[in-house]
Amino acid sequence: MECPKCGSGDCNVLDSRSKKVGQRKRRYICNQCLGKFETVEVRTDDIKEIISGEWIAEMQRHYRTMRQIEREYLLRSEQLLK
């Protein structure tokens, strides 16, 4: 596995567990920059199903949260400028 922070291939698995049927989550630590990252392993047969349902719902939730944070941030910075 390649570290997303420094690109090193020298990474160790910290933790590996089943998330749901057909999904496996792995936590890695990079031996170069000591950065931690996670991957989710999914069976290719299941990808279609995940993308069409669960994944879209999750992305929409993330998007809403991001918009909320953005709005709050803007409100606060407006108050600070007054």
Retrieve residue 82's tokens.
Answer: 């007054």
Q: Which residue stretch of 8-16, 38-46, 48-56, 61-69 sits at the interface with Zn ion (rule: CB under 5 A)?
A: 8-16
Q: Where are the alpha helices (DSSP H) in the chain?
A: 44-50, 56-81
Retrieve residue 58's tokens.
Answer: 């999750």
If binding is defined by CB under 5 A, does position 30 make contact with Zn ion? yes
Q: Which is nearer to Zn ion, 5 or 43 (CB)?
A: 5
Residue 3 neighbours by CB distance under 10 Å = 20
User: Cβ 42 to Zn ion, closest distance in Å?
Assistant: 24
Q: Which is nearer to Zn ion, 12 or 68 (CB)?
A: 12
